[in-house]
Amino acid sequence: MAYINQYTSKLDQLNFKNMFEGDFFLTWEKTFDEILATFTVADALRWLRENNVSTRIFDSGLGVSLFRDNSTRTRFSFGSACNLLGLEVQDLDEGKSQIAHGETVRETANMISFMADVIGIRDDMYIGKGNTYMREVARAVREGFVDGNLEQCPTLVNLQCDIDHPTQTMADMNHIIHYFGGIDKLRGKKVAMTWAYSPSYGKPLSVPQGVIGLMTRFGMEVHLAHPKGYEVMPEVEEVAGKNARLSGGKFTKSNSMKDAFEGADIVYPKSWAPFAAMEKRTGLYGDGDFDGIKKLEKELLAQNAGFKDWECTEELMKTTRDGKALYLHCLPADISGVSCKEGEVAASVFDRYRVPLYKQASHKPYIIAAMIFLSKIKCPQETLANSVSRGLPRCFR
Amino acid sequence: MAYINQYTSKLDQLNFKNMFEGDFFLTWEKTFDEILATFTVADALRWLRENNVSTRIFDSGLGVSLFRDNSTRTRFSFGSACNLLGLEVQDLDEGKSQIAHGETVRETANMISFMADVIGIRDDMYIGKGNTYMREVARAVREGFVDGNLEQCPTLVNLQCDIDHPTQTMADMNHIIHYFGGIDKLRGKKVAMTWAYSPSYGKPLSVPQGVIGLMTRFGMEVHLAHPKGYEVMPEVEEVAGKNARLSGGKFTKSNSMKDAFEGADIVYPKSWAPFAAMEKRTGLYGDGDFDGIKKLEKELLAQNAGFKDWECTEELMKTTRDGKALYLHCLPADISGVSCKEGEVAASVFDRYRVPLYKQASHKPYIIAAMIFLSKIKCPQETLANSVSRGLPRCFR
Amino acid sequence: MAYINQYTSKLDQLNFKNMFEGDFFLTWEKTFDEILATFTVADALRWLRENNVSTRIFDSGLGVSLFRDNSTRTRFSFGSACNLLGLEVQDLDEGKSQIAHGETVRETANMISFMADVIGIRDDMYIGKGNTYMREVARAVREGFVDGNLEQCPTLVNLQCDIDHPTQTMADMNHIIHYFGGIDKLRGKKVAMTWAYSPSYGKPLSVPQGVIGLMTRFGMEVHLAHPKGYEVMPEVEEVAGKNARLSGGKFTKSNSMKDAFEGADIVYPKSWAPFAAMEKRTGLYGDGDFDGIKKLEKELLAQNAGFKDWECTEELMKTTRDGKALYLHCLPADISGVSCKEGEVAASVFDRYRVPLYKQASHKPYIIAAMIFLSKIKCPQETLANSVSRGLPRCFR
């Protein structure tokens, strides 16, 4: 009981009442207090589980997932988060479903939600589509709830869209906070969010965008580096700039991996596709121009190949703060000589950071659970304290 | 406690003791009391969930589903119903299973049922097959239970067969009862169960058959209308006729959508395939004559195209009782100008009824849960009352 | 309470403390006490379920499954076992996953295990691969646990590999024990583990190998018979020989189904592929020589066809002890005239043993649950007794 206080007393200092009955689309739509509340609840749930205390808040209920792109990490993280809270996952596999040609989003959303407490969606393939789709689903189920068709209104959790990947970057950020020992230790730290070479094509922009949109809120210097032509969405750069000004940090940019790594405390080298090309691709897709898409893919691979020196090598790592920057990756990484001939990161660098990388990933289930928790529970402090006092173990060993 | 009485006292008036340890294949195999008991338990479970009372009756156990046809609505309804009662869904995906060539139904049924409390099957593709298959499964697990191989006998719930679609039509019927304010308000009401044009081919007959087999039991006039050549199973028409005589209602037929809609209180315009053609198709399938099937499909599409005027238009709706008949559909509908060029229903009609249509669909999870509940619980009144008195919330908010 | 004593007092006599926090790869890595403890816990869990006592030991948690080969029986058994103990199954479908080319086993294993209490793997396709892979996964998650990335260390349960099929053979053995009325009744009994003809190709060796590796530990004579060229792994034959010497039984071999059946108390006729051919196939697969694989398959089918007389016929059954040997099969069987023209067993023999065959299969969920239970629970006697005393029913009927 004494120990759960460390979390509930933090929550007492924060204003997050608007998260109740809300959704989670983009981190920059949340106040700083709401972001901190999410980390605090994630940590509390983790502490409870580590101490074999049941964290179920649902006796029954469904967590609906929709993955429009392959997924292991996020799929298992979402499944774990739902299970942790007592929800059973029901996957909407569009291939096995009778979703009629022209069926409205509103209809599908209602049909899957009669007993859904959360809907998690990954839809990151086309610029301008994924996030829009999620908001349409969220609006539809809210209407369904108001109309009395749904007993409860499921909360929408963005499991990666064309703009942001909040469950990933919130996990990344919580990892950083734990690694450096608290938010107050982050002021002035330098984060290098840099492009890196990969032989594959068209990786989503949601991670670099999400990182610059979130990490600029902690008073750090976030440096975005990429070759010319690999720009991210201008709107998100604006968000990052504004965040940095408000938090007393910096948002800087360059076309040099070297500049980014120089003196960095944290490095996040990762491949992504150029925003402009992805926009073009969405247009081609809309026109059904598949030959055009193939041609574009070829061009992009050729363009990528011009930047094979954008690799996170031992040499580059030596230029970071004391040669010991924290290396981050959302995984899986393209490891040179392991998963590909030439890739994002040297095998020896990756191997040295394997344990912290897995630790980084381990935050994701708790971040997702915290997002659900905060949207469903009106008085989280009380519910967390009750979890301890009711004395129900997770495993009756 | 006072409020659960409204359901338990209704149950006290009904004789449904044969539902215990039974299956649910066809509505017309159930007595009227049993039908009413199903509605009452469905309403009670809904009331409990709306009031955040846990309705779990299983601490562990499986609900096995087998979908031989694509499904979203019924899949999620079955999943929701199982979850509501505490069962975890395990889907038998015949594609991923090692079901040997020639493996008997008896063997498969036993192998999947060691811990199954319910088996839900959708098998609606071939006339004479689906319902037969379900009964074979039910017989096999009953033998397995008697032989001591299975610890419990799973109840079989028909999630749509070639003859009936009881979870759909029971949901439809409960929606009607709620809409009109009670069973006693239905006497003399006119239901138009009519064929409607769709550019797709071979929609199952289970809904129109299920509707005329069930709705004729409530003293209403059920009018079945379709173009010549779109007859349903004669056996089910006989059932409908008999039901109407017994209930003091009427079962009428015509080849005119106009006649059907004239003064109707409820309209259910929906495409289906001609019974005779479906029988022929089953024969061709049995012979492995896939060229014959393709030829038949072409013929049927051409036949359909002769009846594009069978559309639920605003003009037709105006001819219903006060121009305000309750429009029903099992969804997804073929909406003219939305999901197809010409379809079952005008977009403006469909849009006006969106909220009641979703409400109609929202009954299905509770209907399925009630079917399971009544087959598993000997004294439903007691168990429902205990749900309230044990004070376990569904969500510990 | 009196009755659960029959199981807990048996456990009091056995030393199985090393099973706690352990894995289950091969039966011959377990002491005889550990094998007996597994049967005892399986029986106890079954007794509890039969008496409507909840056997949940987890309030939340995941059971991760990975099937690299199609499966119905084992999939449902694993799902049932997890559900029985309170774990939700999350299937790692490699087709739907974003497992990168070259992604290490260590990484995947950690990514799926943040909340996994058990990982069940079937990987039986290539000699030298399946078991090795499982051990790699087990090592990876142990490291992840030690490193603090995983809150708990999932136990690895072998759901069939290239060497053994412990959940199958343990279920088979428990069936034998119950059938003959106890372990003390088995001394001197003769088991015929024989090859049988099947028109299909490349069935795994794990069952015959698992059977001779396990059943030789009970003082029985285990006779392995197969045509020349259908040898099993020599290492496992050595294990069987050693086991037989230690248990006071016998391990004999022949190339005659007739000799094997002569006077047998138990017969287990089943097709498998020659070990040497399977090794060759693994090599061809490693070289990507798919033409070579096709050629090998043709050769093997031709080789098989030379032994169509290896069928479990009524004539052969008459030569067993009193003509009434217990017929075993892991199912599905290739039944002559039913699932194929000529197969492993005559239809009349198979039909006569249908009930015991299903009973045999019914042990598997409990065996798997016992394996999980013993690796998770430090004092199984206490936990089993508590299951009764806490008075939580499985079904609140």
Instruction: Establish if C137 touches chain A: CB-CB under 8 angstroms.
Output: no
pLDDT surpasses 60 at A1: no
Which chain A residue is nearest to residue C113, measuring alpha carbons? A76
Neighbours of A294 (CB within 10 A): 11
- Compute the distance between CA of residue C194 and CA of residue C272 in angstroms, rounded to an integer: 10
Determine the pLDDT at residue B373: 98
**Closest to B270 (Cα-Cα) out of B354, B343, B213, B321:** B343
The one-letter amino acid at B310: W
Element (H, E) at C379: none
Beta bridge pairs of residue C252: C223
- Compute the distance between CA of residue A346 and CA of residue A330 in angstroms, rounded to an integer: 16
Q: Please compute the mean of the pLDDT values over residues C282-288 and round it to a whole number.
A: 87
Neighbours of C126 (CB within 10 A): 19
Peptide bond into C332 cis (omega under 30): yes
Burial class (CB in 10 A: 0-12, 13-18, 19+), C235: exposed
Q: Please compute the mean of the pLDDT values over residues C86-108 and round it to a whole number.
A: 82
- Compute the distance between CA of residue C263 and CA of residue A369 in angstroms, rounded to an integer: 62
Residue B307 to residues B76, B220, B346, Cα–Cα distance (Å): 33, 28, 15
Beta bridge pairs of residue C390: none
Are B77 and A117 within 8 A, CB to CB? Answer: no
pLDDT surpasses 90 at B388: yes
Determine the pLDDT at residue B82: 98
Tokens representing B309? 């005027």
- Nearest CA of chain B to the CA of A103: how many Å? 6
Instruction: Establish if B93 touches chain C: CB-CB under 8 angstroms.
Output: no
Sign of the Cα pseudo-torsion (C263, C267, C270, C272, in order): negative
Residues of chain C positioned with their CB less than 8 A from the CB of B91? none
The one-letter amino acid at A129: K
Per CATH, is B167-361 categorized as 3.40.640.10? Answer: no
With cut-offs at 50, 70 and 90, classify the pLDDT of residue C96. low
pLDDT surpasses 90 at C275: no
- Compute the distance between CA of residue A296 and CA of residue A276 in angstroms, rounded to an integer: 11
Do C5-163+364-388 and C168-361 come out as alike in CATH topology? yes
Q: Please compute the mean of the pLDDT values over residues B26-54 and round it to a whole number.
A: 97
DSSP string, A189-202: -EEEEEE---SS--
Residue B396 has its nearest CB partner, among A57, A62, A144, at A57
Lowest-confidence region among B175-179, C94-98, C321-325: C94-98
pLDDT surpasses 90 at A226: yes
Are B394 and A58 within 8 A, CB to CB? Answer: yes
Lowest-confidence region among A251-260, B158-167, C2-11: C2-11
- Compute the distance between CA of residue C236 and CA of residue C242 in angstroms, rounded to an integer: 10
- Compute the distance between CA of residue A282 and CA of residue A289 in angstroms, rounded to an integer: 10
pLDDT single digits (tens) A178-195: 999 999 999 999 999 999
**Closest to C157 (Cα-Cα) out of C377, C369, C381, C363:** C369
Instruction: Establish if A70 touches chain B: CB-CB under 8 angstroms.
Output: no
Element (H, E) at C71: none
Percentage of chain A surpassing pLDDT 70? 98
Are A395 and C378 within 8 A, CB to CB? Answer: no
**Closest to B6 (Cα-Cα) out of B34, B36, B47:** B47
- Nearest CA of chain C to the CA of B18: how many Å? 16
Are C339 and B102 within 8 A, CB to CB? Answer: yes
Helix spans in A218-328 (H): 234-247, 257-261, 275-286, 290-305, 314-318
- Nearest CA of chain C to the CA of A343: how many Å? 12
Are C97 and A70 within 8 A, CB to CB? Answer: yes
| The CATH homologous superfamily of the domain defined by A168-361 | Aspartate/ornithine carbamoyltransferase (3.40.50.1370)
What mean pLDDT value characterizes chain C?
95
- Nearest CA of chain B to the CA of C68: how many Å? 10
Are C86 and B60 within 8 A, CB to CB? Answer: yes
> What is the DSSP secondary structure assignment for residue C325, as one 8-state letter?
P
Interface of B with C in 30-59 (CB under 8 A): 56-59
- Compute the distance between CA of residue C91 and CA of residue C258 in angstroms, rounded to an integer: 43
Most confidently modeled range among A283-292, B195-204, C148-157? C148-157
Identify whether the C-beta of residue B117 lies closer than 8 Å to the C-beta of residue B372: yes
Determine the pLDDT at residue A104: 86
For chain A, the domains span 5-163+364-389, 168-361
Lowest-confidence region among A347-361, B102-116, C169-183: B102-116
Are A358 and C147 within 8 A, CB to CB? Answer: yes
pLDDT single digits (tens) A231-257: 999 999 999 999 999 999 999 999 999
Q: Please compute the mean of the pLDDT values over residues B126-144 and round it to a whole number.
A: 94
pLDDT single digits (tens) C243-260: 999 999 999 999 999 999
Higher pLDDT, C228 or C282: C228
The chains in contact with chain A, meaning 3 or more Cβ pairs closer than 8 Å, are B, C
pLDDT surpasses 60 at B352: yes
Q: Is the ipTM of this complex over 0.85?
A: yes
The one-letter amino acid at C124: D
Higher pLDDT, A242 or B279: A242
pLDDT single digits (tens) A282-296: 888 888 898 998 999
The chains in contact with chain B, meaning 3 or more Cβ pairs closer than 8 Å, are A, C
pLDDT surpasses 70 at B163: yes
> What is the DSSP secondary structure assignment for residue C25, as one 8-state letter?
S
Identify whether the C-beta of residue C78 lies closer than 8 Å to the C-beta of residue A43: no
Tokens representing C41? 């816990």
pLDDT surpasses 80 at C368: yes
Q: Which residues of A182-218 are buried (b: 16+ CB within 10 A; e: fewer)?
A: eeeebeebbbbbbbbbbbebbbbbbbbbbbbbbbbbb
Instruction: Establish if A190 touches chain B: CB-CB under 8 angstroms.
Output: no
Which chain C residue is nearest to residue B101, measuring alpha carbons? C339
Identify whether the C-beta of residue C25 lies closer than 8 Å to the C-beta of residue C158: yes
Lowest-confidence region among A38-52, A258-272, B41-55, B115-129: B115-129
Residue C308 to residues C64, C109, C205, C301, C344, Cα–Cα distance (Å): 40, 43, 19, 11, 9
φ/ψ bin of B229: left (φ > 0), alpha (ψ from -120 to 50), beta (otherwise)? left
Lowest-confidence region among A88-97, B375-384, C24-33, C62-71: A88-97
**Closest to B171 (Cα-Cα) out of B27, B361, B28:** B361
Which chain A residue is nearest to residue C63, measuring alpha carbons? A80
CATH of domain B5-163+364-389: 3.40.50.1370
- Compute the distance between CA of residue C186 and CA of residue C188 in angstroms, rounded to an integer: 6
Q: Kindly report the CATH class assigned to C5-163+364-388.
A: alpha beta
Residue A395 has its nearest CB partner, among C106, C110, C376, at C376
- Compute the distance between CA of residue C241 and CA of residue C238 in angstroms, rounded to an integer: 5
Which chain B residue is nearest to residue A146, measuring alpha carbons? B355
Q: Please compute the mean of the pLDDT values over residues A202-212 and round it to a whole number.
A: 95
